[in-house]
Copies of this chain bind each other. A is one copy, B any other.
Amino acid sequence: MSKDRAPTRIQKKNRAAILEAALNVFSSHGFRGATVDQIATEAGLSKPNLLYYFPTKEAIHTALLSGLLETWLAPLHELDANGDPMEEILAYIRRKLEMSRDLPRESRLFANELVQGAPRIQDSLSSDLKILVDEKTAILVGWMDQGKIAQLHPYHLIFSIWALTQHYADFDVQVRAILGDEDPFEGAEPFVDTLYRKLLMP
């Protein structure tokens, strides 16, 4: 019977290298388009050696997604019912936009999965995500009822924030084809700020 030992330094390093490589490959080709060989090469390992750390291709994908889900939902988690309504929402939007700028591969990983029908994370959507969104939209509706922000459909308000902020990471190529040399986020930040100030003003 094998004991579950604490991972050695080398194991930690290799696992991290695999997940880093997998993020690159899965985010730019999707699950079916990604190959184990490509991930192994990018991680600096042989294919069998990679499969010593993760038994299957799906196991790598699952580990990657579940490890990132928390990070991905953190900005919404921070939305505070006791803060100033307008500033809380604008700060949330700013955090989402920063994630698009700083973690575009993570955004595209989720985008790939969602566009293709989310076969591997549908459960997380209807449980974890749904619960979090319901908790936070309740706060939004409270602020609307108190007249602190404009009356809007709370779910569509959330969708609009996701759509607008993630667009810059997910469709980066298109954005850059239009903008040319201009930095996308330099213009995006004041634009979305203005947009939501006008939209949310009661």
Contact = CB atoms under 8 A, between A and B. Distances in A.
Number of copies of this chain that the complex holds = 2
A74 interface: no
B28 A29 contact: no
Contacts of A33: 29-33, 116
Give chain A's interface secondary structure class: helix
A153 B187 contact: yes
B167 A163 contact: yes
A63 interface: no
Interface of A: 28-33, 108, 111-112, 114-118, 122, 125-126, 129-130, 133, 152-153, 155-160, 162-164, 166-168, 170-171, 173-175, 177-179, 182, 187-188, 190-192, 194-195, 198-199, 201
